[in-house]
Structure 1
């Protein structure tokens, strides 16, 4: 589904990613671990088409992201990709259900249908009673579950998760990650998960490490 082949990325004279190659299959979870500053997030944003690669290629369903224009890339990210960030990044002026429904609304779906779909996903994540609350009225763990719902509500092909449990305590981190991966797998969504936590990475299907911009395959996780 998603292939990186010899990807290089530079920030000015500094090389952040060095010849990275990765293969992600439908419904698979791949975890990338490594120390801070090793290039994990930079590679994630290359895979998602947010950062253009300097050399090599990223292909999604056989098409090179480098061949797509800005509008095509934006449409691809809206419709086929989902994103979960370390701090959730919810919009404070929207309710929980409005935040979760945002990808569907941006895709042009009418509000009642979008909220209904968001409510179904929120219910699967144990958030049905919080639909009308604002982000400031829920806990950190609940907020991160809302971010997971938002990433999965439009049934994307791939979700890109950048330290999605890094701001949570260990109990909440484990709960959120389990719910995230279970829901993603149930709908056939592939996940690229960037983390510094070996225990989190162990729950993935395949594992990679990244050091000084170099990506190395480590084999299977402990799913």
Structure 2
């Protein structure tokens, strides 16, 4: 696939495929195009040439409503700084994808509580994001991304704002939970140690994606 920003070719000749439950890491220097590629794969940015397919559907052929439903129901997202809603409790933040998908409040909060418990956050359910640490906030972001058991989670530098101890703990919990429920993960990171935890590793250089390593199916 190719992606242009105005006249600038930001991503070129990128090719990537993902199996159920697979974790793929994309590394590269700042400005290499790795985050742009991530948002192309998630259907947030349109591609200029080529196509992105999910479950046999070409994302470029879907209208805005269909794309929104796909991202809401089948995809999950984790960002570098968590991006939690400050006015909601930890439990409500986690339940948000289920509520947006039309689940009843009680059922959504129950599911959120179960995921938070698996991540060691059960005691924080009624706190606000401002009342928890950075590591805890990022665990909540992971819980929110996985609560609806999406097919794919797109993670953009999910441990980039954490110290090494918290980064390791969050990554351990994130990948363990994702793999246990068969969720694939596309992980953008500048950290080669984080990338080494993936099943497949890719590198972006000047918008070109190359395969570093991939485990056999």
Q: TM-score, normalised by structure 2?
A: 0.98
2:199 aligned with 1:205: yes
1:171 equivalent among 157, 165, 169: 165
The structure 1 residue matched to 2:72, chosen from 78, 87, 105, is: 78
Within the candidate set 39, 60, 64, 1:45 is matched to: 39
1:102-127 deviation line (CA, Å, top 9, x unaligned): 00000111111100000000000000
SS in structure 2 opposite 1:160?
Answer: strand
TM-score normalized with structure 1 length: 0.96
Query: What are the Cα deviations for residues 167-200 of structure 1, in whole angstroms up to 9, with x where unaligned?
Result: 0000000000010000000000000000000000
What is the Cα deviation at residue 62 of structure 1?
1.1
Match of 1:56 in 2: 50
Q: Which runs of 5+ in 1 are unaligned?
A: 1-6
Q: Match of 2:110, SS?
A: helix
Q: Offset of 1:13 from its aligned partner?
A: 1.1
Counterpart in the other structure of 1:97: 91
Which residue of the other structure, out of 18, 24, 47, is the alignment partner of 1:24? 18
Structure 1 residue aligned with 2:123 = 129
Structure 2: state its 5+ residue gaps. Answer: none
Counterpart for residue 9 of structure 2: 15
Q: In the TM superposition, what are the counterparts of 1:136-155 in structure 2 within 5 Å?
A: 136-155=130-149
The C-alpha deviation readout for 1:141-186, integer Å capped at 9, x for no partner, is: 0000000000000000000000000000000000000100000000
> For the aligned residues, what is the CA RMSD?
0.7
> Which protein is richer in strand relative to its size?
1
- Alpha-carbon distance in structure 2 between the residues aligned to 1:194 and 1:160: 8
Q: Distance in 2 between matches of 1:92 and 1:194?
A: 25
Q: How far off its partner does 1:205 sit?
A: 0.3
State how far apart, in whole Å, the 2-side matches of 1:28 and 1:77 are.
Answer: 19
User: 2:177 is paired with a residue of what secondary structure?
Assistant: helix
Residues paired across the two proteins, number: 215
3-state SS of 2:30 partner: coil
